[in-house]
Chain A
Amino acid sequence: MDDSLSKLLILIPAFPLAAAIIIAITGPKLLKQWSHVPVIVALVASFICSLGLLNEVRRRSASVDREHSGLVHAGFEHVVNLWTWADIHEAYELPGVSYGNSEISILDQGTRDFRIDITLRADALTAIMLSMVTFISTLVAIFGAGYMHGDRGYWRFFAYIGLFVFSMTMLVSVSNFILLFVFWEAVGVCSYLLIGFWYEKPEAAAAGKKAFLVNRVGDFGFALALFLIWTTYGTLNYHDTRADGETDPVLVAQAMETQLAGDAPGDNDSLVVRGVVGRWRVAANDYATGGVALAICLLLLLGACGKSAQFPLHVWLPDAMEGPTPVSALIHAATMVTAGVYMVTRCTPLFMASPEAQLTVACVGAFTALLAGLIAMTQYDLKRVLAYSTVSQLGYMFLALGTGTVVGISAGMFHLFTHAFFKALLFLGAGSVMHAMGNVIDMRRFGGLRKLMPTTHATFMIGCLALAGFPLLSGFFSKDSIVAAVHDRVHTIEHELDHRDSHEMHGATVDSGHAQHEAAEEGKAGSPLASWDHDQLHRFAVVYQWLYYSAMFTAFLTAFYTFRAFYMTFYGKEVIPHEAGHHAHESPPMMAWPLMVLAVCAALAGFSLDRTIIEGPNSFGTFLLQTPSLADGAAAATFEPFKFHKNVAGTSGAIAIVAILLATYMYLGHQREIEWIRRLMDFEQFGKWFDVESVSRWKEVAWVKQLHTAAQSVRLGWLTAGIGNVILLLALIAATPFMLGHFVSPYKLSLGKFFIDEIYQLLIVLPLRGFAVVCYAIDRWIVDGFVNLVGRIPLLAGGLMRSLQMGLVQFYALAMVLGVLVLLVARAVLAAG
């Protein structure tokens, strides 16, 4: 606790929380137009603390004793135990499934306490995420102070921002799945509040609700995954602890050695509870495999899909653009949506145990990237284009994580890191445009703004180039490393296949293959590939190969739609919507300034952190691999030295440049070609060939008429008429697919976002609504009816008794007499008895 790392870990989330509380209390009455001050101050402080933390983690992980003790020999983590939230003794009896290293699996048997410690952790992954989050949020808060100026909910905005940054920093720094879930939900709530920030707008309220509900689907999967993790591993902590909650690695290591030596622990408290991604477990690669692993991973993936807007749960993110633009930049582009990526990265060892799950992650990522790229091609809403590009880039990150190699995961995190800069930059740039255009965001209604807004234009261009993967900008390096990782994956699998084939050819009966030999030689824990059979390797190789092509194609789409939006906004004839009035001007310095900072970062972040192109070090990757999850076990076994793939990078760079040039050619000038392509893609060219009405008009055409008259004159009129009828019939038959094609032409599909919203509406919302109506009817008529009936019984009984109340004294006397009679008769009967 008195350690500098611990202090920093606590301070980083504490500043934004304090700012949020201060604003919530004093904002409406006291601070008013100065509400941004506490948040900006707190975020700057948090950022400085994050840098300190980053530096400290770097320093310590560089000097970490690689032969610390026994099994654990790599990675650095620092865990701060604040207090115990819940502690239920002997909550669960672990069945002790035999998986992996059976000698060590014995450690997972026995009764486990259900214990939730409020613990924070510092490791490379957390340090990177913290610095990124606090940096982006600082800039966004400064931008927001200019952007939101004069808004009625000014203080509310900054209170939410403070709360969000608190939740997000906690999310990346907690060391427990339960707390991860708690702050996972907390950022969801902040996102909901900020999407629906202008709650008077029905679209904003609906978008907030949609985001919240769609995320519930993912959270449902996440929660199930947590249950499964708990019943499988008996703990939800990331890190290793003793059963009494002691986290000191030295003490844990001592207890571990005692236990491994076979000595019974002195008391129950000194039992070692190995964390889910704790160093001892990772080092021993002691993870459940098979169905359980697949289930855990797929459920975690569902949770990640919800938060990171991957197909099929991506529908909320584009709608989330109803929120204020700084929010889009901060939450829905740079930070919160990367929580899924962070979570999958954190759980790398779990995914390593299930190659099928990794493949699913990669497929989901690649498919989402492609789908979102296709949709972004035709959108006219600038923020929506950016939103779909976010979805697409997140898909890239999932693709990278799905390769299942350390290089791939490092590439995914690197893309997350660089993407945060240029996507925040693009969104803030879009915000700047919106600010100038009087909140108009439809690209058809403005254009040629480069003279009007030079700063925004320049910074936006840098962001676009980075996003498109223009060589030597940050996006180029990160995207290239993803594509290269996929390529590497294919290569590794094929290599393994070749090796096995050659072994078989040489008559070797070893089917465990090359990888195991190599692993054994190098003293690693064994490459995951070793356990795969031939068919599996083959299938995976094919799938990854296709994913590679898909990624390349998506890179082309990305560059194209980015520059389409860029040209539509800043080039062409100068158009200013009337909403802008006479205020169309460059944004104030408070907004321009963060744009410039971000532009510099977007341009330089790639090269400065990954200098493999000049045979330099990949400092980002090297640092990230100090994370315990990645430093050991199966993940580390896939490690290959970071290197620059010249041919892959050259291909993707060339694709990006070609796409940019194509967009330049099409969107600068008269745009005839793009219109022609649009019509082609909308099947309009083929329309008249299948339209029954136009076919029936053929007989009016001069030469057809002449032919028909000529045929009639030689008594062959029936022939021409028959041919005409047959053609008409064919047109009629073709009409149905044509009509369908008219509605699902590629252009319409893209413009209509592949109708996924509508399909959900039809398949999920409507049945659920019908079910709700049925439930309502049951509740209203059956349950309520029963309750009301019960309520009416006393009323009816009372009604019967009411008729006795005649108001005549004589009647009351008679009633008394009757009562006395009853008593007398009873007395007589008793006396007789």
Chain B
Amino acid sequence: MNEAALLQNYLVVGGLLFGIGLLGFMVRRNMIVMFLCAEMMLQGVSVSAIAFGRYHNDWGGQMLVIFIIAVAAAEAGIALALILMLYHKSGTLDMAFWQDMREEGQPAFVDQGVPEERAEDRVWPTLTPAGVEPAVDQEEQQHRSNV
């Protein structure tokens, strides 16, 4: 196998992942999605690190990725706890809600117009129903309502 070509291919893929994550971090407003994008950037770095490790025949790349995963887990724990707290305080996951922390006298960012909500956006991911729906016992229903 052409090791140099392999490294090059992996670096491009890592760079793309990193770039996409960065882009997502900057353009999305949902805190959870932003955090997710940050994880994606870590993935890009991980891919590059693994590729370099192989290219140099060294364990360092993989070690680095192990620690990245560990730190990402810790980060996820803290960050999600924080996000939950922020949500409790504000009732929204919108990052722009916290723009109060801007410098005094700066004009606030105001949404210019929210696009129409489409039907498919409103749908939760669902699983295809499987098996047979059991028959509902009317008597039991009545009985339960008396409990």
On A, residues with C-beta under 8 Å from B are 802-803, 805-810, 813-814, 817
Contacts and interface: CB of A to CB of B under 8 A. Distances in A.
Contacts of B103: 802-803, 805-807
Given A810-B25, A810-B26, A810-B27, A805 B95 contact: no
B106 A808 contact: no
A265 to B, nearest CB: 78
A808 B25 contact: no
Interface string B58-99: 000000000000000000000000000000000000011011
Contacts, number: 41
A813 B95 CA distance: 13
A669 B27 CA distance: 113
A815 to B, nearest CB: 11
Contacts of A803: 103, 106
A803 B105 CA distance: 9
Contacts of A805: 102-103, 106
A807 B98 contact: yes
A802 B107 CA distance: 11
Given A805-B106, A806-B106, A810-B27, 20 more contacts: A802-B103, A802-B106, A803-B103, A805-B102, A806-B99, A806-B103, A807-B101, A808-B95, A808-B99, A808-B102, A809-B34, A809-B95, A809-B98, A810-B25, A810-B26, A810-B29, A810-B34, A813-B22, A814-B26, A817-B26
Contacts of B98: 807, 809
Contacts of B102: 805-808
Interface in B95-124: 95-96, 98-103, 105-106, 109
Q: Is the interface of B mostly helix, strand, loop or mixed?
A: helix
B24 to A, nearest CB: 10
Contacts of A817: 22, 26
Interface size classification for chain B: 10 to 19
Interface in B28-77: 29, 34
A520 B128 CA distance: 146
B77 to A, nearest CB: 20
12 contacts: A802-B106, A803-B106, A805-B102, A806-B99, A806-B102, A807-B99, A807-B102, A809-B34, A813-B25, A813-B26, A817-B22, A817-B26
A807 B25 contact: no
Contact of B105 (A802, A810, A814): A802
A803 B99 CA distance: 13
A810 B106 contact: no
A807 B34 contact: no
B96 to A, nearest CB: 6
Contacts of B100: 807
Nearest to B108: A807
- Classify the secondary structure of A's interface with B: helix
Contacts of A813: 22, 25-26
Contacts of B106: 802-803, 805-807
Nearest to A808: B99
A806 B104 CA distance: 9
Contacts of A810: 25-27, 29, 34, 95
A808 B101 CA distance: 8
Nearest to A807: B102
A814 to B, nearest CB: 6
Contacts of B27: 810
A821 to B, nearest CB: 11
Contacts of A802: 103, 105-106
Nearest to B23: A817
A805 B99 CA distance: 10
A810 B22 CA distance: 10
B9 to A, nearest CB: 21
Nearest to B38: A813
Contacts of B26: 810, 813-814, 817
A807 B105 CA distance: 12
B34 A806 contact: no
A449 to B, nearest CB: 78
Contacts of B101: 807
Give the top 8 A-B pairs by smallest Cβ distance, nearest first. A807-B102, A805-B103, A807-B99, A802-B103, A807-B101, A810-B26, A806-B102, A808-B99
Contacts of B109: 806-808
A465 B27 CA distance: 109
Nearest to A799: B105
A802 B104 CA distance: 8
Contacts of B22: 813, 817
Contacts of A806: 99, 102-103, 106, 109
B23 to A, nearest CB: 10
Contacts of A809: 34, 95, 98
A334 B45 CA distance: 99
B96 A808 contact: yes
A759 B98 CA distance: 74
A695 B66 CA distance: 124
A626 B137 CA distance: 145
A814 B27 CA distance: 10
B95 to A, nearest CB: 5
B100 to A, nearest CB: 6
B60 to A, nearest CB: 23
A814 B22 CA distance: 9
Contacts of A814: 26
B69 to A, nearest CB: 23
A817 B24 CA distance: 13
A813 B96 CA distance: 14
A808 B25 CA distance: 12
A803 B102 CA distance: 9
A603 to B, nearest CB: 86
B67 to A, nearest CB: 22
A375 B59 CA distance: 112
Nearest to A801: B103
A808 B27 CA distance: 11
A578 to B, nearest CB: 69
A817 B26 CA distance: 10
Contacts of B99: 806-808
A784 B44 CA distance: 58
Nearest to A804: B103
> Which one of B26, B34, B96, B99 has the greatest number of beta carbons of chain A within 10 Å?
B26
Contacts of B29: 810
